[in-house]
Amino acid sequence: MSVFPVAELSSPAAARQVARELLPRLAARSQQHDATGEFPAADFADLREHGLLGLMVPEELGGSGASFADYAAVAVELGSGAGSTALIFNMHASVTGALAHTSDELLRELGATDAFLAERDRLLGAAAAGALYGVAMSERGSGSRLSRTTTTYRRVDGGYRIRGSKAFVSGAGHADAYLVTAKDGDAAEPTVSYFLVPAGDGVLVEPTWDAMGMRATGSHDVHFDVRVGPEALLGGIEGLALLVAQVMPQWLVASYAAVYVGVARSALRNGAAHLCERGLHGLPTVRSRMGRADAAVAAAESVVREAARRVTEQPGEPETNRWVWRAKLVAGDTAAQVASSVLEAAGAAATRRGHPLERIYRDARCGALQPATSDVCADWLGVAALGGDPDHDTDSPRW
Binding flags for its own copies, 241-280, as an x/- string (CB under 8 A): ---------------------------x---x--xx----
Backbone Cα Rg of the chain: 20
Single out the residue of 154, 161, 149 nearest to residue 242, CA to CA: 149
Q: Which of residues 213-232 bind its own copies (CB under 8 A)?
A: 213
Smaller CB separation from its own copies, 76 or 296: 296
Half-sphere exposure of 336 (CA within 13 A, CB side): 14
Q: Which of residues 276-335 bind its own copies (CB under 8 A)?
A: 276, 281, 284-296, 298-300, 302-303, 305-306, 322-323, 325-326, 329-330
Q: How far is the CB of 206 from its own copies (least distance, A)?
A: 13
Buried b (16+ CB within 10 A) or exposed e, 135-154: bbbbbeeeebbbebbebbbe
- What is the spatial distance between Cα 60 and Cα 63, in angstroms, rounded to a whole number? 7
Binding flags for its own copies, 129-168, as an x/- string (CB under 8 A): -----------x--x------------------------x
Smaller CB separation from its own copies, 121 or 294: 294
Smaller CB separation from its own copies, 151 or 374: 374
Smaller CB separation from its own copies, 29 or 359: 359
Q: How far is the CB of 352 from its own copies (least distance, A)?
A: 5
- What is the spatial distance between Cα 296 and Cα 301, in angstroms, rounded to a whole number? 9
Q: Which of residues 353-392 bind its own copies (CB under 8 A)?
A: 353-354, 358, 361-362, 365-366, 368-370, 373-375, 377-388
Spatial contact of 170 and 217, defined as CB atoms under 8 Å apart? yes
- 10 Å CB burial of residue 239 (0-12, 13-18, 19+) is middle
Smaller CB separation from its own copies, 106 or 273: 273
Q: How far is the CB of 347 from its own copies (least distance, A)?
A: 6
Q: How far is CA 130 from CA 125, 198, 261, 314, 370, in A?
A: 9, 14, 26, 30, 27
Q: How far is the CB of 118 from its own copies (least distance, A)?
A: 38
Q: How far is the CB of 65 from its own copies (least distance, A)?
A: 25
CB atoms within 10 A of CB 302: 13
Q: What residues have CB less than 8 Å from 108, skipping those under 6 apart? A: none
Smaller CB separation from its own copies, 17 or 340: 340
Total binding residues toward its own copies, as defined by CB under 8 A: 73
Three-state secondary structure call for residue 164? strand
Smaller CB separation from its own copies, 8 or 210: 210
